[in-house]
Structure 1
Amino acid sequence: MNKFWIVLSHTYLSRLKTKSFLFTTALTILLIVAVGNIQTIIESFGGDEATKVAVIDESGQLYESLDESLQVGDADIELENYDGTLEQGKELVSSEELDGLLHIKVNDQQIPEATYFANKVSTAGETDVLEQNLQQLKVAISANNAGIEQATVQEIFAPVTFDKVSLEENAKTEEELNTTRGIVYVMLFMLYIAVIMYGNMIAMDIANEKASRVMEILISSMPPVSQMFAKIFGIALLGITQVGVFVVAGYVMLSMKKDELTGGVFEYFGLADAGISTFVYAIVFFLLGYLLYATLSAMLGSLVSRMEEINQMMAPVIYLIMIAFFIAMFVGLNNPESQVVTVTSFIPFFTPMLMFLRVGMLDIPFWEIAISIGIMIASIALLGIIGGRVYRGGVLMYGKSASIKDFKKALELSKKDK
Structure 2
Amino acid sequence: MTNPTLLVAKHTYLTRLKKKSFWWMVFSPIILIAAAALLGYGIAHFSSQQEAKIAVVGPSSSRQILANAADQLDLKISNISDDQAAKTALKANKIDGILTLDSNQGTLVTQPKAPKIDKDKLQAVLGKIALITRAKDYGLDNQQAQTLLSPFALKTEVQNQKSQANADNVEAAKSIIAVAVTIIVLVIVSTYASLIGNEIANEKSSRIMETLLAASSAQAQYFGKLLGVTALLASQLVAYVVLGAAANLFGKKIEVINQGLSYLSALTPAFILYTLIFVIVATALYLVLAAIAASLVNDISQVSQAMVPVTTLAMMPYIVGLASASNGGNNLLVRIFAYIPFMSQSTMPSLLANQYANWWQAILSLLISVLALLALGWFGQKLYAKNVLSYSDENVLKQLMRSFKRN
Distance in 1 (alpha carbons) for counterparts of 2:330 and 2:163: 13
- Which runs of structure 2 are paired with 1:357-376 in the superposition (5 Å)? 357-362=350-355, 368-369=361-362, 371-376=364-369
Identify the residue that residue 16 of structure 2 maps to in structure 1: 15
Matches within 5 A, 1:133-172: 133-140=121-128
Q: CA deviation at 1:35?
A: 9.1
**Quick one: distance in 2 between partners of 1:172 and 1:340?**
31
1:99-118 map, 5 Å: 101-105=96-100, 110-118=105-113
Instruction: Give the aligned partner of residue 390 of structure 1.
Output: 383
Closer, same or farther: CA 410–325 of 1 in aligned 2, 3 Å: closer
Deviation at 1:34, TM superposition (A): 6.7
**Paired letter, 1:23:** W
Partners of 1:105 and 1:112 within 8 A in 2: yes
Match of 1:264 in 2: 259
2-structure distance, mates of 1:117, 1:183: 37
2:284 pairs with 1:284: no
Cα distance, 1:142–1:66 mapped onto 2, change above 3 Å:
closer
Unaligned runs of at least 5 residues, structure 1: 93-99
Output the CA distance in 1 between the equivalents of 2:225 and 2:383. 15
Q: Tell me the residue number matched to 1:178.
A: 170
Distance 1:115 1:345 in 2: 54
The 8 Å contact of residues 52 and 74 in structure 2, kept in 1 or not, is answered as: no
| 1:252-401 mapped onto 2 (5 Å cutoff) | 252-260=246-254, 263-270=258-265, 274=268, 277-336=270-329, 338-362=331-355, 368-369=361-362, 371-395=364-388, 396-399=390-393, 401=395
Partners of 2:57 and 2:265 lie apart in 1 by 50
- Kindly indicate whether residue 200 of structure 2 is the aligned counterpart of residue 206 of structure 1: yes
What amino acid is aligned across from residue 53 of structure 1 in structure 2?
A
1:88 is matched with 92
**Alpha-carbon distance in 2 for matches of 1:316, 1:172:** 43
In 1: Cα distance, 2:23 partner to 2:272 partner: 28
Partner of 1:97: none
User: Retained in 1: the 8 A contact 2:128–2:149?
Assistant: no
For residues 140 and 239 of structure 1, what CA distance do their matches in structure 2 show?
58
* Alpha carbons of structure 1 residues 76 and 55: separation in structure 2 relative to 1, 3 Å: closer
The percent identity for this pair of structures is 21
The 3-state SS of whatever aligns with 1:117 is: coil
Residue type of the partner of 2:22? F
Deviation, structure 1 residue 88 = 1.7
Deviation of the 1:259 alpha carbon: 4.8
TM-score norm. by structure 1 comes to 0.72
The answer on whether the counterparts of 1:102 and 1:115 sit within 8 Å (CA) in structure 2 is yes
Is 1:69–2:65 an aligned residue pair?
A: no
Deviation at 1:101, TM superposition (A): 1.8
Contact 2:251 / 2:258 at 8 angstroms: preserved in 1? no
**Residue 96 of structure 1: aligned partner:** none
Distance 1:69 1:316, change over 3 A: farther
Residue type at the aligned position of 2:97: L
Per the TM alignment, residue 295 of structure 1 is displaced from its structure 2 partner at its CA by 0.9
Q: What are the superposed Cα offsets for residues 268-306 of structure 1, whole Å, 9 maximum, x if unpaired?
A: 1116x62x5434533432332122121122222333445
Contact 2:56 2:78 in 1 (8 A): no
What amino acid does structure 2 have at the position aligned with 1:87? K
Distance 2:375 2:245 in 1: 39
| 2:191 matched residue in structure 1 | 197
Larger mean CA deviation between 246-255 and 347-356 belongs to 246-255
Counterpart of 1:207, as a letter, is A
CA contact (8 A) 1:182 1:270 kept: no
CA pair 29-110 structure 1, distance change in 2 beyond 3 A: closer
Name the structure 1 match of 2:83: none
* 1:226 maps to 2:230: no
- Within the candidate set 211, 215, 219, 2:209 is matched to 215
TM-superposition CA deviations, 1:304-324 (whole Å, max 9, x none): 445454444434433443432
d(CA) in 2 for partners of 1:259 and 1:162?
A: 26
Residues 356 and 50 from structure 1, CA distance in 2 versus in 1: closer, same or farther, beyond 3 angstroms? closer
Deviation at 1:347, TM superposition (A): 0.7
Count of matched residue positions in the alignment of Structure 1 and Structure 2: 388
User: In 2 relative to 1, CA 269–233 (structure 1 residues): closer, same or farther, beyond 3 Å?
Assistant: same
Q: 1:63 to 1:305 in 2, by over 3 A?
A: farther
TM normalised by structure 2 equals 0.73
Quote how far apart the aligned CAs of 1:163 are.
6.9
Aligned in 2, Cα 1:106/1:208: closer, same or farther, shift over 3 Å? farther
Query: What letter corresponds to residue 255 of structure 1 in structure 2?
Result: L
Q: What is the deviation of 1:408?
A: 4.1
The structure-2 alpha-carbon separation of the partners of 1:302 and 1:162, relative to structure 1 and needing over 3 Å to count, comes to same
